A and B are shown apart, each in its own frame.
Chain A
């Protein structure tokens, strides 16, 4: 419960790169020339802080140029609960579509990574905090089914506040649905690599993100089940340094490795070669 809170709170404050020529790094507070950050894959050249990137930037980073073919681009959310707060869920969806230029919080497709066929699933935190509702769940399951059918690796890059509150029980059930689909890949020995980026919480961590045959995280990404604010309120103690950072997860044996953005594609290619090769 309450995984969503974090999307708005200090633990996971949105790191937006403002328009303009200069940018203040959220981590080291240095003022840096924006083009320098862009050239550096949106990683701070001073402190190696990995700024959040959107789904399309992620595709460019991982897929061989021109090889990404999107699948199921038209799957979007319905509003099964007729959920309404200050704004109806239907309006909120439209709003997020306009803001992010995406139809949903995940894009999926076939691509090549250094020549290897893969199915790519990429979440975008900019669309309703990357939350998982029915449309996201369905797109992930279909991507897994395609990987299974074609016996090619599934690579999922997550970034999410968790399950999508506005779809109630339907969102919760997506956790079981996507986990069951990943289970089918395991039975068929089709590789599944989970790449976790900042931030990933709740029902996404507690389903496909932690089920990779291999789990990779970007440096300093915040990753967990419950959000830091909820934990702090529950235990009424200060949280330790580095709590829920990628480095903390590595130390506790929960992920295989931390890989910098610039090395991600080569690392994935190497792993695919190992898993698929002789």
Chain B
């Protein structure tokens, strides 16, 4: 059994009861079988009830769910012949960003993404998915490789943010992110980006300048975390509580549904009922379908037109007033 968030607990209880009954039943007791059926339906209804009414803060927690599939999980489910490539050729290989070549529907593409770890040891190794500059530089190196060999780029976004540390500053965290933003805006090959979990600010967008930007149904993407936002706004009033994070998440409007409403993303990729972690294969299939469709749309575009459209799309994002007109 996996990990259950607070709001998943009622589902967990039901599932435990069902399992218990299944263990007791030898399949011949009609009463028990009927009861199992009844409880299974109840669990399904409960799940759809809970998951159709998630708050923004609950979605944030879901986006960070420890059982949620990560970049390498999706790559293994959607790509064949994946070959991971390492290093920025300057300083180090950053395990918080992974990348390499793989085939989707027979076409070789460059797959790049933030990588979180599962279990204490791997979490530390992956630095909780918080890259150093060399991670971004590795990503850019692989993207340039893709451009050279005319491969489509697919990126998976899933990070709390770029790592705030001494080494990261010494080696130019800001420069690495800035360069990626600029270079991605003019790479002469299609870029497809998908927020699969947490889209944490500059550290996320640094691999997210794309021709097509999608978000999984229960992912979030924001300029600052709800905790960071709450801390700036309300820390002076004393210790922060869950309601503060919840209020901050509502103020930031950071869900896939919010961002589709703002026309910042192209589409939402549906997750199986209960979230991607309850059915990783189902989530992976939806991701693969979306990528396949995007590849079909983008693969025949001439590079010049492609980057012109990419620029125009970025150029339009913003909400400002100009004198009296908006």
* Chain A interface residues toward B at CB < 8 A: 1-5, 8, 72, 74-81, 83-86, 133-135, 137-138, 141, 163-165, 167-177, 179-184, 186-187, 202-203, 205-211, 224-227, 230-231, 234-235, 237, 239-240, 243-244, 248, 252-254
Contacts and interface: CB of A to CB of B under 8 A. Distances in A.
B321 A76 contact: yes
A206 B174 contact: yes
Interface in B150-166: 160-166
B178 A72 contact: no
Question: Which 3 pairs of residues, A with B, have the shortest CB-CB distance?
Answer: A226-B164, A180-B185, A134-B318
Nearest to B229: A165
Contact of B322 (A4, A75, A85, A231): A75
Contacts of B186: 180, 183, 187
B233 A85 contact: yes
Nearest to B180: A179
Contacts of B175: 206, 210, 254
B115 interface: no
Given A74-B323, A138-B320, A141-B315, A168 B252 contact: yes
Interface stretch (B3-11, B198-206, B280-288): B198-206
B178 A177 contact: no
A77 B182 contact: no
Contacts of B322: 72, 74-76
A81 B252 contact: yes
Interface in B129-187: 160-166, 168-175, 177-179, 181-186
B48 to A, nearest CB: 28
A85 B234 CA distance: 9
B182 A180 contact: yes
5 contacts: A1-B200, A2-B231, A135-B321, A206-B177, A207-B177
Contact of B223 (A168, A230, A234): A168
Given A165-B229, A254-B175, A235 B165 contact: yes
* Chain B, interface residues (CB within 8 Å), range: 35 or more
Nearest to A165: B224
A173 B314 contact: yes
A183 B182 contact: yes
Nearest to A231: B164
B65 to A, nearest CB: 19
A177 B205 CA distance: 11
Contacts of B222: 168-169, 172
A2 B225 contact: yes
Given A169-B223, A248-B170, 17 more contacts: A1-B200, A2-B164, A2-B231, A3-B224, A76-B322, A77-B321, A134-B319, A165-B223, A169-B254, A175-B177, A179-B181, A183-B186, A203-B201, A211-B178, A226-B162, A235-B165, A244-B169
Contacts of A138: 318, 320
Contact of A169 (B174, B181, B203, B262): B262
B151 to A, nearest CB: 21
A237 B164 CA distance: 12
B173 A252 contact: no
B169 A231 contact: yes
B172 A1 contact: no
A226 B133 CA distance: 12
A207 B178 contact: yes
B259 to A, nearest CB: 6
B53 interface: no
Contacts of B179: 210-211
Contacts of A237: 166
A234 B164 contact: yes
Nearest to A184: B311
A254 to B, nearest CB: 5
Given A2-B231, A168-B223, A80 B262 contact: yes
B253 interface: yes
A206 B173 contact: yes
